[in-house]
Every structure is written in C-alpha cells, then in structure tokens.
Amino acid sequence: MTCSWCLDVHNTEQGRPTGKGFISGSKNYRSSTVTDHEKSTGHIKSSQVMESRRAAERGESVAHKTLILMNEAQRKRLENMFRNVHALVKNHRPLSDFKWLNELDKVKGHDVGDTYNNHQAAACFLEYISDIEKQNLVTDIDDVKFFSLTMDGSTDKLVTEQDTIFIRWCSMGKIQTRFLCIGEPNFTTSEDQYIFVREKIEENGLLPHMSNSKLVGFGCDRASNMFGKKNVLVTLLKRDHPEVITIHCLAHRLKLAFNDTFKSDKMFLKLTT
C-alpha cells in the first residue's frame, strides 16, 4: 500500500521527507496506520505541495496572481500606447505627436511609463498594427468568392511614380473597400507595373487567391501603360487571369468629360493651368 501524494512529491521534489513506508509500500493494512500517516509531518508537507500545484493550475497561487497583475499592468500600458498610435494615424497626425499624447495620458493619471515614450517606438507599434490588419484582410478574403482591384498612380514631390492599390469585395450584400498598399514600381512600363501588382499581392498574402481565380475585376485610368489592347497592364493581367473584367475608372471618365465640356472656357483654362 502506497500514498500517491507522498510518492509523487518524493519523485519530483528530490527526496523531500515523507512517510517512507507509504513510498516503498506498506504491508500494514490497519486503519490506524493510515491515520498515523495522514498526521505525519511528511504527508502534511506532501499535501501542502499538492495543494500549491492545484492552486497554480487554477491560477490561485500568490506567485501566479502577482505575475498576472504585473502582466495586466504592462498590457494596459501597451494597449493605451497602441490606441494612441492608431488615433494619430487615423487622424492624419505625425508620429512625433505620440510623446505629448502620452504625456497627456500621464496627466490624466494613466500609467504610461517611459520605456516606449518616443516616436521610434510609435513606428514599431504601427508596424505591428499593420501586420494585424494584413492578417485580417487575408481572413476576410478567405471568406469571399470574388474580389477586384483598383489602381491609380501619381507622382510625389520628387517626381517619383507612386502607385496605390485598393481591394474591393462584397460581403453580406455590402461593398467593402480597403487600402492594400502604396509603392514605387521600378519603371512605369506595363511589365514593371504588372510585376509591382504581383509583388504587392504576394506581400499581403493574397497571391493564392489570385491563383484560385478569385480576382475578377480590375479598375484603372486610361493611361497608355495601363489600358489598351496590346502590351499594357490589363492585357498582362488577362493573360494570366482571363476571367478578369477591366473597367475604366468612372471618376477618371467623369474628369475627362468635365474637361471636354469646359475646354473652350477661358476662365476654366486659366484656373486649371
């Protein structure tokens, strides 16, 4: 006859003193023997060890509660900082505002600490937010049958071509439009534009969905490298994805129609040149 608690503690606690007879096995089956063992110092210590283990598993131990409180405080601090970064970006504010926004939280009585109170940390937080948003986007596209892309290009103050891509899909009868990326293709040729689109789709984890024929639409302006019949971006897309329907952007068409309507108006020409 053995005591499972004493045996377990003896094996795991490197010989902690317990009732030896109930470890190696006792042949005395009297009730008084069991009672005496329950009152022994070794069994009481083994009982305390087992109870501590159970408390730790339930999250009730003092050490566990202390650790949870520490982690909770740190989590709250980081949560506030992530929210501050998100608020800055959503309201088109520079990341340099991150520090004074944290200082405002400190005045309000929030524990913000000093470790991450700088714009470099804000940029790091923003990257993590971006990663999560990309994961959410992939999850959303997993649940839809089709999606389309909209692409437009512009030049920055350095006269460098910058292309933006948006993704659109329908979910529960509602059209969803999400910003996908902005980037700089190597050149403005059709081939480079197509490589740029493929690379950005792959970076955002959506390339398998293109291979599964989920991409059914592509909208753009009528720039010579984008829209046409031969060796342009839309024909390259159709070569690999023949199911894609290309659409000349309605906003660009409206602008062209507006320009044609007022092209003979001197005041209009003066204001737009």
**Nearest residue to 66 (alpha-carbon basis) of 80, 56, 76:** 56
Average pLDDT, the chain: 80
Q: Please name every residue paired with 217 in a beta bridge, in sequence order, or none if there are none.
A: 148, 245
- Report, as an integer, the average pLDDT of 217-232: 80
pLDDT of 246 above 70:
yes
| Backbone phi, psi, residue 34, to 5° | -65, -40
pLDDT, tens digit, for every residue of 5-63?
A: 677 776 555 444 445 666 666 777 777 777 777 778 777 888 877 777 776 665 555 66
Encoded tokens for 241: 């994805």
Dihedral angle at the C-alpha atoms of 237, 241, 246, 249, nearest 10 degrees?
-60
pLDDT, tens digit, for every residue of 147-194?
A: 999 888 777 666 677 888 999 999 888 999 998 888 888 887 888 888
CA distance 67 to 3: 33
Query: Residue 202 — pLDDT band, cuts 50, 70, 90?
Result: confident
pLDDT, tens digit, for every residue of 79-119?
A: 889 999 999 999 999 999 999 998 898 888 888 888 888 88
